[in-house]
Amino acid sequence: MPHEQYDDCWLRYERVADDARRDAYRRRCAHAYVAEKSPECSAVRDEFRRAIPGLLGEDVHLWQHPPTTAEGFLAVGTPEDMAMIADSVSVDAVEDLADGGYILRSVEWEGQDCLVVTAPTDRGLVYGTFHLLRLMATGEPIDDLDVREEPAAPNRLLNQWDTPFHRSVERGYGGESIFDWERLPDLRDRYEDYARLLASVGINGIVLNNVNTTKPDRPSASDAFEGWQLLERRRLEDLTGLASVFRRYGIRTYLSVNFAAPMLLGDLDTADPLDDDVRAWWREKADEVYDLIPDFGGFLVKADSEGQPGPYDYDRDHVDGANAIAQALEPHGGRVWWRAFVYGSHEDRAVQAYDTFEPLDGDFADNVTVQIKNGPIDFQPREPVSTLFGAMPETDLGLELQITGEYTGQGVHATYHLPMWKEVFDFDTRADGEGTPVSSFFRNPGEGIVGVGSVGEDHSWTGHYLMQSNLYAFGCAAWDPECDPEAVTREWAAQTFGADDEVVETVVEVLRDSWEACIDYETGGLGLMHMMHNGEEYLENHYYPSPGEWPGYHGASEDGIGVDRTSTGSGYAAQYRDPVAERFESPETCPEKYLLFFHHLPWDYELADGTTVVQRLYDNCFDGVEEVRRLRDEWADLEGRIDERRFRHVAERFDEHVAQAERWRDVLTETFRDYSGIPDEQGRVPES
Ligand code: GCV
């Protein structure tokens, strides 16, 4: 049943239109046996109860015991749950699968058409179920299935930047937090629906609160509590029910913690990680957490970053800090995710994370993961990949991506991130042809891929119906970084907007082309970035153009533009391994898309096709706006083919998107014109 208060996103389960296809589904899935043994299995049963009536127009018959009957059916369980499963699938093949992996197979059993969903763990049964339902929701045949799937990255985590007790979400554009902290342990249906959305794309962990554990992002009516207080016993007790909701869907709960918690919550006068009392405090706290939430995942820490406390306060380093907390979690199998987002003490912030963390490689405890943003700056529309990937072979690493669109138009612009993430995954850290792209990392048990969340209380969850796609795509890319972006996008569009091919094709095209358009109008497309307004007003922050605030990031002067990050500048290029470093070091070989990130070049520097730098910047800014106009027109053509609510919402967003893209174009091109004194060849940029 559709929810009135909020959208069903891609789990709509609308009736399958094709009669023959529906009959085929009915033959194998109208009856089901799901092993009766775990919270995950009961979630699977609930999902069939929701999905089958929607897809087939009739209730699913769920057996209490393994059937012996003469009807086709669906069996969901591990091989030991049911003889039929063990007989249909090689037990060794199932046991070889990684946690989360599953097999889906169409089989004949006692003369009947049946289907098996099996896995070595119950979490895999949840994923296998969602895979099967996705096939049915997109009208795919299921009569000849032989699917074997397992995740590439063992940890696929969501980082909520929700600020507890303030109900807000930092950099969230979908309304206030869905988590009603004050009312916990009361649960809302929305929590379960969120867990379903996450599990349907393979996400297996959620950090419930913001990495900024002391700082609310904006004023709130409630000033009673702060995020770090989630570690108080009574708050932890309140969280147990929420953790159970996520557990049913194979999702472990994590918390962000404040490094100074022993002082904030305990009565210690230090948080020095080498102090015995501090270490004992963390041990006791970890024991308490696991006592209440036995499958708790661990702690995420932002330390010595943007005003948060950290080991530097005690002349210790990141290893000391991370390991002190890790030793407390270790007996419980918990893990510290320690962020590498540090800047402020180097003239070029790009070099700092590598300078700080690379020398520490090999010193972190086994249950520490160093969590690194995809690029060296901060989730800009396009950044070169962080130099830390491939530089810390002795350390478990996590890749942090941003699902929410902090710098890509927030809840207004339709900017799809999957093509950006693919560029990150495909980046070859050695360029030596030996297969070391970023997608080949994050395979160790302590490694993974992390997405900064985007959901809020809005009907659309993400503040923009089309931007639900970023959440979906994140899960798919974390599961399989080598995924085909076009296939993922089509799958999302078909589940979200139904089986109308024209709608699906248009949505796929709009999403595919949106990212490059954003790069063009927000940066000029040659590797510039970070030219946004840093206003005090929450909703203006990082949204409007304001290159004048950030001279160091674009390096514009009368003689040229760009930042010298070669050996004559900050030296960032040399942090890559050769031959990548060599390639970035010279403007002749540096890819055009990163050119001005690595080089300060004259305005009239000639690019490969003979166009000057300044002219290319003008052209790209104008092309970006044209592209957004084209995407808006494509969307407008869908009127009447999708429901009014979503059509209108996206159409209105597109009007604003075009207006804001024009604003970016005008501000940037005038800046380029003012510094360079060189007019646009086509006369589009007014003389000031
Ligand atoms: C959660 C940037 C963002 C902050 C964010 C920070 C981080 O500075 O603007 O909102 O804080 O990154 O990733 O820690």
237 in ligand 1 pocket by Cβ < 6 Å?
no
**Atom number, ligand 1, closest to the C-alpha of residue 212:** 1
Which residues participate in catalysis according to the annotation? Answer: 306, 378, 406
Closest-CA residue, ligand 1 atom 13, reads 341
**Atom number, ligand 1, closest to the C-alpha of residue 170:** 10
pTM: 0.97
Contact criterion met (CB below 8 Å) for 242 and 179? yes
Cis peptide before 185 (omega within 30 of 0): yes
Residue 540: per-residue pLDDT: 67
- The CA R_g of the chain, rounded to the nearest whole Å, is 26
Tell me the CA distances in angstroms from 618 to 539, 592, 611, one per residue in order: 28, 15, 11
Q: What φ, ψ does residue 250 adopt, rounded to 5°?
A: 75, 20
179 in ligand 1 pocket by Cβ < 6 Å?
no
Measured in angstroms, how far is the CA atom of residue 548 from the centroid of ligand 1? 21
378 in ligand 1 pocket by Cβ < 6 Å?
yes
CA quadruple 57, 59, 61, 64: dihedral positive or negative?
positive
Residue 221: per-residue pLDDT: 47
341 in ligand 1 pocket by Cβ < 6 Å?
yes
Residue 66: per-residue pLDDT: 75
Question: What averages of pLDDT result for each successive group of 10 residues across the chain (688 residues)?
Answer: 85 96 95 93 97 95 79 93 93 96 95 95 98 98 98 98 90 95 94 98 97 69 69 96 98 97 94 98 98 98 95 98 98 98 92 98 98 98 97 97 97 97 94 80 97 97 98 98 98 95 98 98 98 79 94 97 98 95 97 98 98 98 98 98 97 98 98 97 87
Residue type (1 letter), 470: N
Closest-CA residue, ligand 1 atom 12, reads 378
171 in ligand 1 pocket by Cβ < 6 Å?
yes
Q: What φ, ψ does residue 56 adopt, rounded to 5°?
A: -105, -15
Nearest to 175 by CA among 389, 379, 459: 459
